[in-house]
Structure 1
């Protein structure tokens, strides 16, 4: 399960490599062509891009590859997937370095680099680890416009979860994109984005319900015990009907986690919650099963009174 908290922590774990150098710079520093070739063949020099080298025992990471991509593009900034990683909401993976350039500007066509030309002028770049990045709201909306719907909402939720953007900033930014491809879908997703979700599958499960007209489920709904303490949180909870929709990922397969889940389930059932569990197979291959299960539960609990212990936590 890809937790949004892991994405939010990633920028603090990115290592800074040595500054990339052009082939000509290495020659000017006194290395011969043979010495460059010898070091490259033995892993002393690494080539993150054509004609660019980084010295060190390890292959260059994100920082070094991003610097190498920017070397010949001083007017470009990091955007899309790469900037999302640096802002702390990189929940959609990409092996390439993504650059954002104005339409009409020269842009690289090299292996490992994806260049996005845009007619929408970027705001002054944000410096993250000395790398120029598009601002977080721009990155989030760019991805929301261009990714499939099921991948786009997790980006927005993760950006809110990480504190990289606010809902108001997203609304302002999506307005700046009027007329661009995908902006209508992005505007719809911004309206339902919620920073309380904790992982991609929780967001996707909520999106499935919202698209079916079911909007009563609250992400990470707290459930309190008789003393008023938060005993647990539900992935998605309908506090009026007391129905929970939980995603069971691979983290739930250990014996210790199974014991904890059983204890949690029994306690919630005793409090009156109807627990419904779904897996990746349900979410990605049988979404109609999820909708049928939730619809049946809603019908059976149509007149359920809200649980007092969670009503104070409603948005």
Structure 2
């Protein structure tokens, strides 16, 4: 999932499946062992994990699988990737259900379920569509510590974009993780997280620049016309040198979008913007080309004196 807006609305689209049941609960409900076996073999009962079943012909979605996993540990809460999806910033996808349990807690091994033992207090759970989750700040920092750097910053940006956390909450939370694995990376990324970014690739493009020591680019920079009306927004814009770094994804391939992009490009160049465009091939396979392209643009505009300001107004 690339767009942070899609991740933000996902929790409100999660279907509530049938409540999972244990083998013993099915027996108490009046099913015999033979009936359970017969219905399971014919797809009328779905077996999720050992001793966890859901009635009906279809396998459950996130809600049903999470409920089934929680049945094995009443003190556990959902955390990491699973809780991030429920909080609205699930941009690090996985099919595994992730639980957070206190260190030393026993948890049976289940295929498709990962239990993370923690020495930090879990705190009061946040209930989302009836499921107990770790707090949004806790989830964001846990992922920022344990994911790769290139995947971790999108989680933080998406959490801010969705309004699930504030920058201050992230700073406070990362302080609680002192001396834990990956906390240095989390602290560095929390310092540069920005809720104005709108998709994973925008964030990763900005991280590439930040790691190269280039911090002049602002996510979703608004560009105004001479009347003060916002005409468009730049994925990343340097307002002083008037250089834009734009990510071209698959959504730019339609004929209508191409027409809009051509008009937008021409108008921005008329305002004095130097437009630079990059694709997923550049971002994931040739990052040095991105840096060299933008470094050259910065060098050519080292003493830039635009005829118009960055918002399109006459200075």
Q: Shorter-chain-normalised TM-score: which range?
A: over 0.9
Residue 148 (structure 2) aligns with: 148
Residue 215 (structure 2) aligns with: 215
Change (3 A) 1:176 1:311: farther
Residue 15 (structure 1) aligns with: 15
Residue 310 (structure 1) aligns with: 311
Kept in 2, the 8 Å contact 1:22–1:51? The answer is yes
Q: How many residues align?
A: 312
Change (3 A) 1:257 1:92: same
Give TM-score, length-normalised by structure 1. 0.96
Residues 156-189 of structure 1 show CA distances to partners (whole Å, capped at 9, x for unaligned) of: 0000000000000000000000010000110000
The root-mean-square deviation of aligned C-alpha atoms, in Å, is 1.3
Residue 298 (structure 2) aligns with: 298
SS at 2:127's partner residue? Answer: strand
Kept in 2, the 8 Å contact 1:243–1:276? The answer is yes
Shift of 1:149: 0.2
Residue 138 (structure 1) aligns with: 138
Alignment of 1:230-245 (within 5 A): 230-245=230-245
* Structure 2 Cα separation of the partners of residues 60 and 153 of structure 1: 31
Residue 187 (structure 1) aligns with: 187
Kept in 2, the 8 Å contact 1:108–1:115? The answer is no
Alignment of 1:1-315 (within 5 A): 2-305=2-305, 308=309, 310=311
Shift of 1:56: 2.3
Shift of 1:309: 5.2
Kept in 2, the 8 Å contact 1:48–1:64? The answer is no
* Structure 1 Cα separation of the partners of residues 275 and 108 of structure 2: 52
* Structure 2 Cα separation of the partners of residues 305 and 69 of structure 1: 61
* Structure 1 Cα separation of the partners of residues 311 and 167 of structure 2: 24
SS at 2:132's partner residue? Answer: strand
Kept in 1, the 8 Å contact 2:154–2:203? The answer is yes
Change (3 A) 1:218 1:192: same
The more displaced of 135-144 and 18-27 is 18-27
SS at 1:2's partner residue? Answer: coil
Change (3 A) 1:280 1:309: closer
Shift of 1:310: 3.0
Kept in 2, the 8 Å contact 1:222–1:310? The answer is yes
* Structure 2 Cα separation of the partners of residues 266 and 49 of structure 1: 57
The more displaced of 57-66 and 207-216 is 57-66
Change (3 A) 1:228 1:257: same
